[in-house]
Structure 1
Amino acid sequence: MRTTESASYYNHLEKMSVNELLTNMNKEDQTVPHAVNKAIPQIQKLVEAIVPRMEKGGRLFYIGAGTSGRLGILDASECPPTYGVPHDLVIGIIAGGDTAIRKAVENAEDDPEQAWADIQAFDFNAQDTVIGIAASGTTPYVIGGVKNAMKEGLLTGCITCNEGSPLAKEVAMPIEIVVGPEFVTGSTRMKSGTAQKLALNMISTSVMIKLGKVKGNKMVDMQLSNKKLVQRGALMIMEATGLEEEEALAMLKEHGSVRNAVEAFEKRV
Structure 2
Amino acid sequence: MQDSESRGNLLTEQANPNSTELDCLSPLAFVELCNREDEKTIAAVRAVRQELADAIAAIASALVKGGRLFYVGAGTSGRLGVLDAAECPPTFCTPPELVQGIIAGGEAALVRSSEALEDRAEDGAAAVREREVCEVDVVAGISAGGTTPYVRGALQGARQLGATTIFIACVPAADVPAAVDIDIRLLVGPEVLAGSTRLKAGTATKMALNILSTGAMVQLGKTYGNRMVDVAVTNSKLRDRAHRIVGDLTGCDRAAAADLLERSQLRVKLALLMHWSGLDAVAGECLLDEHNGNLRIALAAAGVGSKSGS
Question: Are 1:195 and 2:200 matched, yes or no?
Answer: no
Question: Are 1:263 and 2:268 matched, yes or no?
Answer: no
Q: Which residue of 1 aligns with 2:180?
A: 171
**For each residue in 1:68-112, what CA deviation from the matched residue of structure 2 results, as whole angstroms up to 9, or x when unmatched?**
000000100000100011100000010000000000125110010
Question: Are 1:234 and 2:243 matched, yes or no?
Answer: yes
Structure 2, unaligned runs of 5 or more: 1-8, 280-310
SS at match of 2:121: coil
- 1:158 touches 1:173 (CA, 8 Å); kept in 2? yes
> Which letter does structure 2 place at the counterpart of 1:262?
L
SS at match of 2:245: helix
Question: Are 1:54 and 2:63 matched, yes or no?
Answer: yes
| Bigger mean CA deviation after superposition, 77-86 or 41-50 | 41-50
In structure 2, C-alpha distance between the alignment counterparts of 1:227 and 1:253, rounded to whole Å = 14
Counting only pairs closer than 5 Å after superposition, residues 81-160 of structure 1 correspond to structure 2 as 81-160=90-169
Deviation at 1:52, TM superposition (A): 1.4
Indicate the structure whose relative CO is greater, using CA pairs within 8 Å and at least 6 residues apart: 1
Q: Which residue of 2 aligns with 1:5?
A: 13
TM-score (norm 1): 0.96
| Cα pair distance change 1:267/1:45, threshold 3 Å | closer
> Which letter does structure 1 place at the counterpart of 2:209?
L
| Bigger mean CA deviation after superposition, 53-62 or 133-142 | 53-62
| Cα pair distance change 1:99/1:93, threshold 3 Å | same
Question: Are 1:205 and 2:214 matched, yes or no?
Answer: yes
TM-score (norm 2): 0.84
Deviation at 1:47, TM superposition (A): 1.6
Identity among equivalent positions (%) equals 40
> Which letter does structure 2 place at the counterpart of 1:74?
L
Deviation at 1:120, TM superposition (A): 2.5
Higher gyration radius (CA): 2
- 1:128 touches 1:155 (CA, 8 Å); kept in 2? yes
**For each residue in 1:185-218, what CA deviation from the matched residue of structure 2 results, as whole angstroms up to 9, or x when unmatched?**
0100000000100110111011000011011110
Q: Which residue of 2 aligns with 1:23?
A: 32
Count of aligned residue pairs for this structure pair: 269
> Which letter does structure 2 place at the counterpart of 1:5?
E
Deviation at 1:14, TM superposition (A): 1.5
> Which letter does structure 1 place at the counterpart of 2:278?
R
Structure 1 runs (4+) deviating above 3 angstroms are 165-168
> Which letter does structure 1 place at the counterpart of 2:136?
Q
CA root-mean-square deviation? 1.4
> Which letter does structure 2 place at the counterpart of 1:68?
S
SS at match of 2:206: helix
**For each residue in 1:235-265, what CA deviation from the matched residue of structure 2 results, as whole angstroms up to 9, or x when unmatched?**
1111222221012113213312110111122
Deviation at 1:124, TM superposition (A): 2.1
> Which letter does structure 1 place at the counterpart of 2:57?
E
| Cα pair distance change 1:167/1:205, threshold 3 Å | farther
| Bigger mean CA deviation after superposition, 40-49 or 56-65 | 40-49
